[in-house]
Structure 1
Amino acid sequence: MARDPHELLEPYRRKRDFGRTPEPSGSGSAAARPSEDGLRRFVVQRHRARRLHYDFRLEMDGVLASWAVPRGPTLDPDVRRLAVHVEDHPMEYELFEGVIPAGEYGGGDVIVWDRGTWRPHETEDPAEAVRAGELHLDLFGERLRGRFALVRTGRPERSSDKEQWLLLHKHDADAVSGWDAEHHPTSVLSGRTNEEVKAAPDRLWRSDLPAAEASVPAHGQLVEGPTEDELGALADLGRQGTWEVFGRTLKVTNLDKELFPARAGEEPVTKRELLAYAARIAPVLLPYLRGRALNMHRYPDGAAKKGFWHKEVPDHAPEWVDRWHNADADPDETQYYVIVDEPATLVWVAGFGALEWHPWTSPTDAPDLPSYVLFDIDPGERTSWEEVALLAQLHRTAFEHLGLRAYPKLTGRRGVQVWVPIARGPGFDETREWAERVSRTIGAVQPELVSWKWQKRDRGGLARLDYTQNAVNKTLVAPYSPRASAGAPVSAPITWDELDDPDLRSDRFTIRTILDRLERSGDLFRGVLTHDQSLPVLR
């Protein structure tokens, strides 16, 4: 029988002063809620307190049962890790990342090192298994996967002592010999290291707010979104006029023009709605566009008609629109590119008929040095969504094996893209060669699904694992950019686990639904903005 989570959290609360620590108080903790298939949540936090350790936490009875693992969990089945059973933590701790003040219990910096779901093995009552001293479980995280066991090694002799346990991985398909948690020092939530979080906490926990609202930006949003008055002014305009937004004045025309055809049961998407979306998504999207040349895919007559690429800043662009001169361009090539360095520029881009936004993958201060390695799963006519998801899962496995953070997103059409952030250094020739070797290795696992032919008509309806976008002035669509299709789908970041969702499709999220998703899940792509990885040598 499930126990009262509020009673279970009393030891946790007694040790903390919530007027000083940003940690959640647990006042919003609820009863246990394993899903119908028995899955529960888990989180592992890398915690630099007096000593570095990893906090291993499993959802159980409406709280997070917790163990401190000094050397961190491992996928190596021949290694056993000491795990010290500590007090239960509130469920809200699943998303806690920040700095616990010095002098407070557990003072130090904390990152969300791994998170996902877990299922107990050979028991329907994991809490009872813990009381009995042995719990077997399956983990489905971004880093930790497979069968694990927690085994108590003995009862403490004194009441002040904590129980000593062992955490180990079983010999199964997910086991990896020599795997070390310290080779993966970043957060799966923000992509940041402990040192980065300590230097500039990204978010704070407000114990005085409800759990769903308690995680707030540490310094507020870098860019504020449009005000209700600004959005109301756009809604109240006639077919055209001037719109004051983000402190800029924009001339807007043809506001009721249908730019995206309707989906079944919906209304077409108008230019007015696109401009409102551009304004609302700008604070989230700006970090992916700042300091990068923008290739605009324009559809002045709407997504139902043929579009074209537009790169040169037009003469009629407002003077305040920032631009970059490509000094290496030949006379017949684009000389000046738009730079979206402020939110009003994105609104102007949308009003210019650019339904899709494609930033360069290298910054303007080093156009020959990419910030990412890009992987594009481009399905053929015969490729099913299930096969696209399978190919994406193979990418996940490959990057886990290589010890790299990689971030998937839906294209908004039929495919999936994966971005791997890297530290500045290698040029496009190197990243393209590296991406090709990884892609061909992945493709060899399911050769019946993949063609390497350049022309689509020559692929026999098979998918292509496209590594060729790793080149200067080649682009993949930005996260949250609309796509020129019915309903205005967007290129939406996802978690790796979402690939298991039978209802997921590449065009699932639209400009009408993605903002609610952001409210619920946050920006899942944020980790690509931390460029701290080196490409491992492929053997």
Structure 2
Amino acid sequence: MATPYEEIEVGARTVRVSNPDKVYFPERGFTKRDIVHYFLSVGDGILGALRERPTTLERWPGGVFEGAKLSTRGDNRGDAFYQKRIPKGAPEWVETVRITFPSGRPADEVCPTETAVIAWAANLGTLTFHPWPVRRPNVDHPDQIRIDLDPQPGTDFADAVRVAPQLRALLHELGMEGWPKTSGGRGLHVYVPIQAKWTFVETRRAVIALGRELERRLPDLVTMSWWKEERGERVFIDYNQMARDRTIASAYSIRPRSRAPVSAPLRWDELESVAPEDFDIVTMPERFATVGDLHAGVNEEAYAIDTLLEWAERDQRDEGLGDLPYPPDYPKMPGEPMRVQPSRARNKA
């Protein structure tokens, strides 16, 4: 007989886990109970990634079954969805922070402050946590640059790994350090802590300048083109991950794929010896117990981005390289080029 619910003690809180025997990953038989206990096993790490940050919850209440789909802006009939506002009925100890979307509409998002909040969210079917690159006291000024190395068709994780040392060398030239992690898929993410004094527009511009410099050095490996038809078999630096309300799966989050992979913090010296599938809800707890939180440094030193902003001005002045397109659901931004696919623009001409 299935257990209707369990109560677990998480710090000073009691968290109720309903239907703990419900299977969330049929291929491996992982249940909701397994999901909750996984998050508790890496609690200090994932709380470090989420603490005091507005966080969107990616909820899969029916689990990750064959054919399951995530709802989108254009089609909300999916089996899973993004929760951008605090759910009704949340315990009083689940804190929030008010953020503003690009449209100007506000929302009160979950703002994790303790591990119990993560367990509570997991009970709601949250597998992936999407924190903003800001903290509650200063929600309009990012304190992180997140560099998304996104392999395009014809490339894979190994190609992102080939780019990573050159990216690190470039960061070192800027007096910065980065902290890598797997995306949980084919990609690689590198986080760089920065001083929370620049706007989203400025930090996005800084990432564009960084990406363009990396593209100059590795033209056969790296692309900054927003348009897929122009990217080729290269690694795309997804600069729009630094736009307001665009987020990256947090370290230690579970990705909704059949094997239950997780986004795993890495050491630079192990990039070439690991693969994304090495890290899942079974292997990560033991790894975390052994190596600790490899992303702890993200929350320590903070760097300036003045040089990157100077590079952006140089690119505009010397090469005529201005802004790049925003995502299609964004309002038109000052200085942004036309959002027209190059092949369509040529056909109209």
Q: TM-score, normalised by structure 2?
A: 0.78
Corresponding residue number in structure 2 for 1:309: 82
> More strand per residue: 1 or 2?
1
Distance 1:474 1:445, change over 3 A: same
Distance 1:401 1:325, change over 3 A: closer
1:170-319 alignment runs, 5 A limit: 238-246=2-10, 247-262=12-27, 267-304=28-65, 305-307=68-70, 308-319=81-92
Could you list the per-position Cα deviations for residues 205-227 of structure 1 after superposition, in whole angstroms to 9, with x for gaps in the alignment? xxxxxxxxxxxxxxxxxxxxxxx
**Contact 1:409 / 1:418 at 8 angstroms: preserved in 2?**
yes
Matched, 1:368 2:125: no
SS of 1:464's equivalent in the other structure is strand
**Contact 2:56 / 2:82 at 8 angstroms: preserved in 1?**
yes
Q: What's the CA shift for 1:491?
A: 0.8
**Contact 1:325 / 1:336 at 8 angstroms: preserved in 2?**
yes
Corresponding residue number in structure 2 for 1:434: 206
Q: What's the CA shift for 1:287?
A: 2.4
> More helix per residue: 1 or 2?
2
Q: What's the CA shift for 1:379?
A: 0.8
Code of the residue aligned with 1:310 in structure 2: it is Q
1:526 pairs with 296, 302, 314, which one? 296
Code of the residue aligned with 2:4 in structure 1: it is Q
Corresponding residue number in structure 2 for 1:444: 216
Corresponding residue number in structure 2 for 1:141: none
> How far, CA to CA, are the matches of 1:443 and 1:331 in structure 2?
32
**Contact 1:402 / 1:536 at 8 angstroms: preserved in 2?**
no
> How far, CA to CA, are the matches of 1:375 and 1:330 in structure 2?
21
SS of 1:480's equivalent in the other structure is coil
SS of 1:417's equivalent in the other structure is strand
Distance 1:451 1:332, change over 3 A: closer
Q: What's the CA shift for 1:378?
A: 0.6
Could you list the per-position Cα deviations for residues 161-182 of structure 1 after superposition, in whole angstroms to 9, with x for gaps in the alignment? xxxxxxxxxxxxxxxxxxxxxx
Q: What's the CA shift for 1:461?
A: 4.7
Q: What's the CA shift for 1:484?
A: 1.0
> How far, CA to CA, are the matches of 1:416 and 1:248 in structure 2?
35
**Contact 1:367 / 1:472 at 8 angstroms: preserved in 2?**
no
SS of 1:285's equivalent in the other structure is helix
Matched, 1:320 2:98: no
Code of the residue aligned with 1:254 in structure 2: it is N
2:163 pairs with 382, 391, 397, which one? 391
SS of 2:207's equivalent in the other structure is helix
Distance 1:252 1:520, change over 3 A: closer
Q: What's the CA shift for 1:422?
A: 1.1
* Structure ID, larger Rg: 1
Code of the residue aligned with 1:244 in structure 2: it is I
Distance 1:516 1:474, change over 3 A: same
**Contact 2:47 / 2:114 at 8 angstroms: preserved in 1?**
yes
SS of 2:129's equivalent in the other structure is strand
Corresponding residue number in structure 1 for 2:286: 516
**Contact 1:261 / 1:485 at 8 angstroms: preserved in 2?**
no
> How far, CA to CA, are the matches of 2:118 and 2:239 in structure 1?
28
Question: Which has the higher relative contact order, 1 or 2, with Cα contacts under 8 A spaced 6 or more apart?
Answer: 2
Q: What's the CA shift for 1:258?
A: 2.2
Code of the residue aligned with 2:42 in structure 1: it is I
**Contact 1:311 / 1:337 at 8 angstroms: preserved in 2?**
yes
Distance 1:384 1:321, change over 3 A: closer
Corresponding residue number in structure 2 for 1:77: none
Q: TM-score, normalised by structure 1?
A: 0.52
Code of the residue aligned with 2:186 in structure 1: it is R
> How far, CA to CA, are the matches of 2:156 and 2:19 in structure 1?
38
Could you list the per-position Cα deviations for residues 196-248 of structure 1 after superposition, in whole angstroms to 9, with x for gaps in the alignment? xxxxxxxxxxxxxxxxxxxxxxxxxxxxxxxxxxxxxxxxx943224131233
Which ranges of structure 1 fall in alignment gaps of 5 or more residues?
1-236
Could you list the per-position Cα deviations for residues 261-284 of structure 1 after superposition, in whole angstroms to 9, with x for gaps in the alignment? 43xxxx332111001112222223
**Contact 1:411 / 1:507 at 8 angstroms: preserved in 2?**
no
Number of corresponding residues:
296
Corresponding residue number in structure 2 for 1:415: 187
| Percent identity over paired residues | 33
Corresponding residue number in structure 1 for 2:259: 487
